[in-house]
Amino acid sequence: MKFPFGKKTKTVEQVEVEFGSIKAEDIVAPSLIEIKQNYIRLGERMAKSFFVFSYPRYLSTGWLSPLINLDSPLDISLHIHPADSGAVLKRLRKKLTEVQAEIYELEEKGIIRDPSLETAYQDIEQLRDELQTARERIFQLGVYITIYGDDEKQLKDIEIILRSLLESRLVYLKPALLKEKQGFASTCPYGLDQLLVHTPMNTAPLSSIFPFVSPDLSANEGILYGINQHNNSLVLFDRFSLENANFTIFAKSGAGKSYFTKVEILRYLMQGVECIIIDPENEYQFLNDAVGGSYFKISLNSPNHLNPFDLPVPREDEKPQDVLRSNVINLVGLLRIMLGGLTPQEDAIIDQAITETYAAKDITPESDPLTWEGKTPLMSDFEGVLSGMEGAGSLIERVRKFTRGSYANFFNTPSNINMDNKFVVFGIRDMEDELRPMAMFVILRYIWNQVRSKLKKRILLVDEAWWIMQTEDGASFLFGICKRARKYWLGVTTVTQDVSDFMRSEYGKPIISNSSLQFLMKQSTATIEVVQKTFNLTDGEKNMLLGCDVGEGVFVAGQKRVALKVLASYTEDQIITSAPEEVAKIKEAKRQLKL
């Protein structure tokens, strides 16, 4: 190996002769170490050590957590040394005798009793009993803290914060004056206790110092969701490890919900999980092009078609009659939306007409499901059956809009979509607003039929889910998918910015209840009360959701919740960003490369 030095090149051996052998510690060590009486300088940084010398009578659980979650770099070292219970009992006996003698002396002099002495007497007696019966043990505890800063002023500011946090809990500390070297060594991960400032403490209060009390969501498998803002740890999680893999995301416009969902989808794709998206605003087209997915634009003039009468292929553990009946019930719900509602009589006619439409194509509960393929009826076949039924005049007039009118190109054509790709997106931006709930219902039915036909690990993302929640039948169908998704290895993600519309549906709360994961991002003041009541948020979490930045929020997984900040790499960001200014920059950069 050779190193360049000016115009000449020298070997490693020549460098070692001139400069000496370079070791690993020479690379890791700071450029200088300067020990002062109240701080240590490590290169360009300063460090200052403290020790805790006084505790209150009672310690609350997790009293050290504010320090662990402090937004400043620091090292905390806990040195716990077991003490000899026999020697401690002798000292307690002696102390008890002294306290009792002092109490008797006050009584003989007729002086009013001292509550502090009586309290001390009771505490010593109780501790003696617990030590004697081995319910408690005594330890010598040393708590040392080292803070870091760029200058003495920054060290002083951090020290003030440190003192205020501890002294509010009646815990007091002192700087390790003239022992900064020993203090720094005691907080390094060497297991050395060089300060030797100890406080005797029994088992119960000692357990309150347990440091790992901040919320944590780190697992051995899954994907990286972002940074835990409580303690700056990584949030690594696998949504499929919970009782169900459903996910609900609520955020106001511009809070970064689409960015977050793209990050999650991209990382799950790398793990081989198939992803299906219903995209109301064509936000996922750029991501689709980057990963080589299939993008189907759904509109009245689109060449991509979905037949509402499509049937799933029954699996081995399913009965054909159950599959057919379930499909008929879902179709009745779709037609109820398409036809603007049905009376009870019309509902019965529609149910019978659908059954007869399938029967006319030899699709019956008794027929072999293998013969169903290629026989799927169309909406025009359904109209033909209706025309021969009594009392269906009004229904026929309304159905014709979907068989002969402007809507026929979408509702009355055979399906021509292939979902074999790992990443499939249905874009419905160009679909008319009044038809969007129907289109989402048809797409969801088609996806659900595909999911049921073949068991795979999949994620289904329904963006702007409030569109389909506008109708009772659409909301009911979405809830049914969320409820049954676990059996088919499917995780359903519902995303919406209109919390009020979502919760107005009677199926809104059940969908949330059937979702093991929730991510609440920035909310508006108009909806925060609904969100707080629905998710039982604390006032602190409520205020956080009102003022958090883009890509931040409260991440809930089962019984755990953390403050999450979404992070993406530069490459991921270039693929998933949907900010207009960023997209324009990327397009311009690509154009320059072509030139």
**Band of pLDDT at residue 278, cut at 50, 70 and 90:** very high
- Tracing tokens 């059956």 back to the chain, one arrives at 385
On whether both 434 and 289 belong to a single domain, the answer is: yes
On whether both 161 and 290 belong to a single domain, the answer is: no
On whether both 318 and 274 belong to a single domain, the answer is: no
Q: Is the pLDDT of residue 308 over 60?
A: yes
On whether both 90 and 173 belong to a single domain, the answer is: yes
Final residue belonging to a domain, choices 144, 176, 207 = 207
The CA distance from 449 to 313, in Å, is: 8
What confidence score (pLDDT) does residue 203 get? 77
On whether both 356 and 247 belong to a single domain, the answer is: no
Among candidate residues 586, 590, 595, 572, the one with its CA nearest the CA of residue 260: 572
Q: Which residue has the higher pLDDT, 58 or 41?
A: 41
**C-beta of residue 251 within 8 angstroms of C-beta of residue 257:** yes
The CA distance from 274 to 570, in Å, is: 23
Structure token pair of residue 530? 């609904």
Q: Is the pLDDT of residue 534 over 80?
A: yes
What confidence score (pLDDT) does residue 392 get? 82
On whether both 422 and 405 belong to a single domain, the answer is: no
- Over the chain, what is the mean pLDDT? 84
On whether both 154 and 54 belong to a single domain, the answer is: yes
CA angle 419-424-429, nearest 5°? 120
**C-beta of residue 274 within 8 angstroms of C-beta of residue 459:** yes
Rounded to the nearest 5°, which phi and psi values hold at 245?
Answer: -105, 20
Does 594 reside within a domain?
no
**Band of pLDDT at residue 491, cut at 50, 70 and 90:** very high
Number of other residues whose CB lies within 10 A of the CB of residue 354: 23
Range of the domain at 318: 307-414
- Tracing tokens 């509602």 back to the chain, one arrives at 341
On whether both 395 and 270 belong to a single domain, the answer is: no
Final residue belonging to a domain, choices 176, 207, 238 = 207
The model's pTM: 0.67
Does 35 reside within a domain?
no
Number of domains in the chain: 4
Question: How confident is the model over 1-46, as pLDDT tens digits?
Answer: 444 444 455 555 554 545 556 777 777 788 888 888 888 898 888 9
Q: Which residue has the higher pLDDT, 594 or 441?
A: 441
Looking at 60-64, 501-505, 518-522, which range is the least confident one?
A: 60-64
Structure token pair of residue 356? 């007869």
Does 249 reside within a domain?
yes
Final residue belonging to a domain, choices 383, 414, 445 = 414
Does 371 reside within a domain?
yes
**C-beta of residue 251 within 8 angstroms of C-beta of residue 90:** no
Query: In the predicted model, what is the mean pLDDT of residues 317-330?
Result: 85
What confidence score (pLDDT) does residue 104 get? 74
Question: How confident is the model over 356-413, as pLDDT tens digits?
Answer: 999 998 888 888 877 887 788 999 999 899 888 888 888 888 888 888 877 888 888 8
What confidence score (pLDDT) does residue 9 get? 53
What confidence score (pLDDT) does residue 268 get? 94
CATH number of the domain where residue 527 is located: 3.40.50.300
